[in-house]
Structures are given as C-alpha cells and as structure tokens.
Amino acid sequence: MIDLGGIKVHPSHLARDAQAALLDDLRDVIRAAPLFQPETQRGAKMSVRMTSAGDLGWISDRRGYRYEPRHPAGGDWPTIPAALLDIWRDVSGSDVQPDTCLVNFYGEGARMGMHQDRDEASLEHPVVSLSLGDQALFRVGGTARGGKTQSLWLSSGDVAVMGGAARLVYHGIDRIRFGSSDLLPQGGRINVTLRVAGR
Ligand code: MD3
Ligand code: FE
C-alpha cells in the first residue's frame, strides 16, 4: 500500500481476470446508461465522458454540478455491479453502502483539471476509486488550491481510498498514456469511483 498525502493506493488490487470481468459489468452499465460528455456551467464540454450506476448519478450542465436520480436522457441509473460493492467492503473501512458509482471514460487526450469533490451530502464517507485500462498521471495537492502537489501513475487494477483528511484534497488527471494497456481493445481508460452521495 502506498500513502500519497493520506490517499491509500493499493497497486494491482485486482488481477487481470477480475479486471476483465468488471469491464464486462461496466459495459452493461454503459449500455443501460450511455456515456455523455458533461458541460460545465460556463458551457465548455469536459474531455472525459461519464455515466453512473446506483440510486444517484453525478451530472453537470449549465445549471451546475449535482447528483440526480435519473440519467440526463431519462430513466433510472442501473444498479452498482456486485463486484464493485465487494471492493468497497474490502477497502473502504465503512459500513455504509455506496449509493453512487461514477464511471469516467478517458479517450486519447482526455484529462481532468484539479478539483475537490464536495457535491456529496456528507463528506465524512470515503471515496473508493478503481482504474482500468491505460495508465493515468494522477496529481494530488492539499486541501487549499494551488499548493504543492505530488504525482503518481495509476495503472489498471489499482484501487485508491480517499478518506479522512484526504477526502478534501485537490486532485486531477494530467494525461493518460493512450494505448499503454490492452484491457480495452480500442485503448482508453475507465475510472470508477464509489461514494455515499445522498446521506
Ligand atoms: C481524492 N476522478 O471522479 S480518481 C472524480 O481518475 C475524479 O477519473 C479521477 O477525480 C479519475 O472525481 C481521479 C482518484 C480520486 C477520486 C476521488 C477523490 C481521488 C480523490 C475524491 C477526493 C479526493
Ligand atoms: Fe475527483
């Protein structure tokens, strides 16, 4: 386990066969709730495509960021795959179940700027992240914008847990190494985050 400013990273938590099985589960999620490119309040499209599973899903549009009980095209979000709930049970240290699973897809050139995650109703629950596919350069700072940062390449099968003081650190994805993994036949990266958003 690697400690990156309070973020606990478990390298290769998932073996290749478990990664492939989860990818199949996520294909079912994406079939039921297609990926969309969220728009920021200022009207710019994010480069990452997203969808969600669970009782709530994260969306962003001209009205702002928030969790919603339905996909922007209408319809409930699909249920969170059981294999992801197993990972949450194994690493989160929380007895509350996650009610949302955000699926981020990074194609060639996609990135995510530095931000804090604070749209959840209570911020005492941890966030658990799983990386699948191409490697990504993850950057983490402190709880104030603009301070010192540390970087780490995240690889397919890595799991990270953001709890306690690390829950509110600034973080982002600077770039991916497109084509560095053969898990996704067309290349790209999927990151899934499990959260308690509604309580
Ligand atoms: C630190 N996702 O979905 S995962 C996000 O790889 C997000 O797609 C990135 O940032 C990705 O919000 C980074 C690692 C991560 C996820 C959530 C965090 C780090 C975090 C929440 C709080 C602090
Ligand atoms: Fe985040």
pLDDT digits (tens, 9 = 90+) for 143-169: 999 999 999 999 999 999 999 999 999
Asked if residue 2 lies in contact with residue 152, where contact means CB atoms within 8 angstroms, the answer is yes
How far lies 146's CA from each of 5, 143, 167, 171, in Å? 15, 9, 17, 11
CA dihedral angle for residue 139, residue 181, residue 52, residue 66, rounded to 10 degrees: 20
Domain enclosing residue 178, as ranges: 2-195
| Atom of ligand 1 minimally distant from the CA of 7 | 1
- Say if residue 76's pLDDT is above 90: yes
**Strand 100-106 vs strand 189-195: parallel, antiparallel, or unpaired?**
antiparallel
How far lies 118's CA from each of 40, 53, 139, 166, 177, in Å? 16, 19, 18, 12, 28
- Say if residue 82's pLDDT is above 90: yes
Q: Is 79 annotated in some ligand binding site?
A: no
| Ligand 1 atom 10 nearest Cα | 172
Measure 198 CA to ligand 2 centroid, in angstroms.
17
Asked if residue 68 lies in contact with residue 55, where contact means CB atoms within 8 angstroms, the answer is no
Q: Is 170 annotated in some ligand binding site?
A: no
Testing ligand 1's pocket by substitution, the residue of 56, 114, 122, 129 carrying the most ligand atoms inside 8 A of its CB is 129
Number of structural domains in the chain: 1
Please report, for the domain that includes residue 60, its CATH number: 2.60.120.590
Measure 98 CA to ligand 1 centroid, in angstroms.
15
Asked if residue 140 lies in contact with residue 155, where contact means CB atoms within 8 angstroms, the answer is no
- Say if residue 196's pLDDT is above 90: yes
- Say if residue 199's pLDDT is above 90: no
Q: What is the pLDDT of residue 41?
A: 87
| Ligand 1 atom 17 nearest Cα | 127
Q: What is the pLDDT of residue 128?
A: 98
Q: Which residues have any ligand 1 atom within 6 Å of their CB? A: 102, 104, 112, 117, 127, 129, 136, 160, 162, 166-167, 169, 171, 173, 191, 193
Q: Which of 197, 189, 196 minimizes the C-alpha distance to 112?
A: 189
In this prediction the pTM is 0.97
| Ligand 1 atom 22 nearest Cα | 167
| Ligand 1 atom 16 nearest Cα | 129
Angstrom distance (rounded) from CA 105 to CA 35? 8
Q: Which H or E run contains 30? A: helix 16-32
Asked if residue 106 lies in contact with residue 176, where contact means CB atoms within 8 angstroms, the answer is yes
State CA 73 to chain mean position distance. 21
